[in-house]
Amino acid sequence: MIREVQRNSVYRHYKGKFYYILEICYHTETYETLVVYHALNSEGDTYARPLEIFISVVEEGVNNPTGQQYKFELFEDEE
């Protein structure tokens, strides 16, 4: 089952930083699906990452302060 990524939503990386999903797009030569996302921190950088990596499971044994199962998870404010 492939997890769906929602545009115009906030996702939390397993290390704790937050990112806004701008777009889902395709590499012009390989047609690989990419996620374009913007950091919600002071640097405010914009990145593109292959979808398969974006939705992948956090590897065992790495520092995972959020305890998330996946590298990026949809953040839903509980307030």
Closest by CA to 1, choosing from 77, 54, 42, 55, is 55
In a domain, 10, yes or no: no
Structure tokens at 63: 């520092």
Tokens of 9: 């939503």
- Is residue 41 domain-resident? yes
Helix or strand run (H / E) with residue 75: none
- 2 domain-assigned: no
The whole-angstrom separation of Cα 29 and Cα 6 is: 24
In a domain, 54, yes or no: yes
In a domain, 34, yes or no: yes
pLDDT tens digits along 9-66:
999 999 999 999 999 999 999 999 999 999 998 888 999 999 999 999 999 999 999 9
Q: Which tokens belong to 79?
A: 């307030």
Domain limits at 51?
A: 24-61
Query: Is 51 part of a structural domain of the chain?
Result: yes
Amino acid 2: pLDDT:
62
Whole-number Å distance between alpha carbons of 51 and 49? 6
